[in-house]
Structure 1
Amino acid sequence: MKTCLWPGDNQLMRAYHDQEWCVPNHDDQYIFEMLTLEGAQSGLSWSIVLAKREGYKKAFHNFELEYCSSLTDEDLETIKERGYIIKHLAKLQSVRDNAKAILRIQEEFGSFANYLWRYVDFKPLINQWDTDAQIPAETALSKQISKDLKKRGFKFVGPVTMYSFMQAIGIIDDHVRTCPYHTSNR
């Protein structure tokens, strides 16, 4: 079977593709991790972000929401200077802001997963692409989620980032049809 081409020969990208990408996930801590990493990717390649993933986990205590929501500006500066992460202060500040926003959503919806998955009636959207080139960068749904998250105070959640995020947590399965990891082939 022909697999998706985008991971190339990069081992981290291949492992992410094979084990995580487009796999439905409802764990708020993991979802927060993916939101953080997708936001960090803005303007960069996914391979750079994956190479720094362990640094992010260490810096943000494995994406523990309460910890991240309580970070001070000084804490974020220290993380910026010492951490093996992308040293973009606004992206680092978004980790704190987004953690706070997720905690508010959890109060309203019971979980961040509930909030997100309700957009697709709690069932993943399974696409049937023949080539990687057919996969869109954004959709009406990613624009809708982006708009609502921004209203709720989230940062680095533009429509393109949200589309990648939906793939990351399995709301969308965008493996090409011939990929052994496509839902219909598992």
Structure 2
Amino acid sequence: MTEKSRCNWCLSSDKMIHYHDTFWGTPLHDERELFAKLVLDMNQAGLSWNTILNKQENFYAAFDDFEIEKVAQYDEAKFDELMQNAGIIRNKLKVRAAINNAQRVLEIQQEFGAFETYIWSFTDGKVCQHHITDESEVPATDSLSDRVSKDMKKRGFKFVGSTVVYAYLQAIGVINDHAEYCFRQRELLD
């Protein structure tokens, strides 16, 4: 059996390889998972993805499996509890942003019928197929992430700068940034 070619960024651990092979760049439409990935990506700001991936199970446990309605109703007691949880990133602004963003997702669901309808509306439901030959070509932002970020900020979302949004769009498969030599790039072509 020959070894599969993968994006170089994932080769640091078995956990990263599993994430790359199974989740990253796969078009996602599940409401709860779309919210979970948003919270995880905003928590990555200033940190490595490996750090977040290693704490991912703790995040799911701490944030009630990312049930949007529950997170949206978190009070100060729950905020204080989260701030004591060493298993997650205990950044006050990020924890408050997660609660705020759950409330914003509920508003989006009211307006659009679903959060996924809103997120995927920016590309008319299509995956942006980037053809990356060298991973150094992958931008930190682009015009799409700028547009989504601007709209989300206008709607009151927090921690959704263009860099965070670009990483989020990659993670949920709106953008396919798997390198051309990576087996997943071919699997995820429309």
TM-score (norm 2): 0.94
**Residue 71 (structure 2) aligns with:** 68
Q: 1:78 to 1:109 in 2, by over 3 A?
A: same
Q: 1:185 to 1:36 in 2, by over 3 A?
A: closer
Q: How many residues align?
A: 186
Query: Are 1:112 and 2:115 an aligned pair?
Result: yes
Query: Are 1:170 and 2:178 an aligned pair?
Result: no
Which of 40, 45, 55 is the equivalent residue of 2:58? 55
**Residue 91 (structure 2) aligns with:** 88
**Residue 82 (structure 2) aligns with:** 79
Query: Are 1:161 and 2:164 an aligned pair?
Result: yes
How far apart in 2 are the matches of 1:96 and 1:143? 23
User: Aligned-pair distance for 1:185?
Assistant: 6.9
Q: 1:42 to 1:185 in 2, by over 3 A?
A: closer
Contact 1:77–1:89, Cα closer than 8 Å, also in 2: no
**Residue 182 (structure 2) aligns with:** 179
How far apart in 2 are the matches of 1:110 and 1:2? 39
Query: Are 1:38 and 2:41 an aligned pair?
Result: yes
Q: Return 101-110 or 73-82, whichever deviates more.
A: 73-82
How far apart in 1 are the matches of 2:141 and 2:188? 25
**Residue 142 (structure 2) aligns with:** 139
Report the secondary structure of 2:10's partner residue. coil
Report the secondary structure of 1:54's partner residue. helix
Q: Structure 2: state its 5+ residue gaps.
A: none
Report the secondary structure of 2:9's partner residue. coil
Q: Would you identify which runs of 4 or more consecutive aligned residues in structure 1 move more than 6 Å? A: none
The amino acid of 1:79's aligned partner reads: L
Q: CA RMSD in A?
A: 1.3
**Residue 22 (structure 1) aligns with:** 25
User: Aligned-pair distance for 1:123?
Assistant: 0.9
Cα shift readout 1:104-155 (whole Å, capped 9, x = no counterpart): 0000001010001011010101111101111111001101100110111101
User: Aligned-pair distance for 1:8?
Assistant: 2.0
Q: 1:173 to 1:155 in 2, by over 3 A?
A: same
Contact 1:29–1:63, Cα closer than 8 Å, also in 2: yes
Report the secondary structure of 1:82's partner residue. coil
